């Protein structure tokens, strides 16, 4: 089996994983390691070096690495990253592929973090459901922001400009609050961890409890959160007709009450519409396990050139 390393650069930590890949496409996670994220070019450069070298030290020399893949927020083109504001990588593109290439002689691939996580979710479905090579899914990542990754008929969809799945900045309310992207009323202002934090001081689980207890503000925030998530799922299904929409991120995966509310909303939306019944959106929803490192696994197994 080939050993491939994947690194998922997040806003708070950098997760690395060593993954053994079999000839028939199966995989096994050999080792995981994480280091804190430090914003800025020098911080990301040093964090990448530390995560990779420490993982190799733990892996040992008896298992040589065949490739290194990296998932990172922002727009990725030719191994260069731009608009990764949460990492302090704004301004001129940051050549992350070159930085990684200085650490290793193995092939390096770099892609957007949500796209890498979507590829990781595809590997999870193949392992758990026996999904074939033509697995068809959208990963909806509910993190600080809101974005999707697409694996269509077994192929990772990046898009003409690397922006496939960037649905978080679709405007859902033109008179809504300003978004850091420069627009107003974007979907992720309502349906994301960051959007929730702007309107509610506790966790999603605490929100659901407070709303059930009659807290009027909590009920309003819950309504917007559930409606926004449902809208995001419907957008993905109607735009791509994917077989499954896999939701990831602690906001949804660790909150059963929110999962139930979302499924109920999807079932009730257009209940009298034959079109909605044919879509059967609620039947396509899956929850990515919290303990499955889709970002680092997907980065390790990234196909083609990033």
pLDDT at 68: 98
Domain tally for the chain? 2
Q: In what order do the strands lie in the sheet with 285-287?
A: 155-157, 146-152, 137-142, 244-248, 285-287
Cβ neighbours of residue 18 closer than 8 Å, sequence gap 6 or more: 3, 4, 5, 29, 30, 31, 32, 55, 59, 63, 65, 300
In terms of domains, do 104 and 150 share one?
Answer: no
Q: Which domain holds residue 192?
A: 132-287
d(CA 191, CA 206): 16
In terms of domains, do 281 and 256 share one?
Answer: yes
The tokens of 2 are what?
């080939």
pTM for the complete prediction? 0.93
In terms of domains, do 150 and 200 share one?
Answer: yes
Residue numbers in the chain where pLDDT is lower than 50 = 306
Whether residue 153 is contained in a domain is answered as yes
In terms of domains, do 26 and 98 share one?
Answer: yes
Task: Give the pairing type, strands 108-112 and 285-287.
Answer: unpaired
The tokens of 92 are what?
């001129």
Cα angle, residue 253 at apex, residues 250 and 254 outer, rounded to 5°: 70
In terms of domains, do 136 and 275 share one?
Answer: yes
d(CA 83, CA 90): 5
Whether residue 84 is contained in a domain is answered as yes
Bridge partner residues of 70 (DSSP): 7, 110
**Is 107 in a helix, a strand, or coil?**
coil
Give the residue from 84, 83, 64 showing the smallest Cα distance to 4: 64
In terms of domains, do 190 and 77 share one?
Answer: no
Whether residue 126 is contained in a domain is answered as no
pLDDT at 306: 44
In terms of domains, do 31 and 171 share one?
Answer: no
pLDDT at 181: 83
d(CA 261, CA 227): 10
Whether residue 306 is contained in a domain is answered as no
């Amino acid at each position: 089996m080939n050993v491939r390393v994947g690194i998922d650069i997040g806003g708070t930590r950098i997760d690395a994983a060593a993954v053994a890949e079999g000839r028939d496409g199966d995989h096994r996670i050999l080792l995981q390691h994480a280091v804190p994220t430090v914003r800025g070019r020098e911080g990301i450069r040093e964090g990448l070096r530390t995560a990779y070298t420490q993982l190799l030290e733990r892996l040992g020399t008896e298992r040589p690495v065949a490739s290194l893949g990296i998932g990172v927020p922002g727009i990725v083109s030719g191994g260069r990253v731009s608009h990764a504001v949460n990492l302090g990588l704004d301004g001129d593109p940051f050549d992350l592929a070159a930085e990684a290439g200085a650490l290793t002689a193995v092939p390096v691939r770099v892609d957007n973090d949500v796209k890498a996580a979507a590829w990781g979710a595809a590997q999870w479905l193949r392992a758990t459901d026996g999904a074939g090579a033509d697995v068809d899914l959208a990963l909806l990542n509910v993190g600080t922001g809101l974005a999707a990754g697409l694996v269509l008929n077994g192929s990772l969809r990046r898009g003409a400009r690397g922006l496939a799945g960037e649905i978080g900045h679709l405007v859902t309310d033109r008179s809504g609050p300003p978004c850091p992207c420069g627009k107003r009323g974007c979907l992720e202002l309502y349906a994301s961890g960051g959007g929730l934090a702007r309107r509610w001081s506790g966790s999603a689980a605490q929100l659901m409890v407070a709303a059930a207890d009659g807290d009027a503000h909590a009920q309003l925030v819950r309504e917007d959160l559930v409606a926004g998530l449902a809208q995001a799922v419907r957008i993905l299904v109607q735009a791509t007709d994917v077989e499954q929409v896999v939701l990831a991120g602690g906001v949804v995966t660790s909150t059963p009450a929110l999962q139930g509310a979302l499924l109920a909303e999807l079932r009730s939306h257009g209940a009298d519409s034959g079109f909605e019944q044919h879509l059967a959106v609620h039947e396509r929803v899956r929850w990515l396990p919290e303990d499955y490192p889709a970002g680092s696994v997907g980065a390790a197994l990234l196909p083609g050139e990033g």
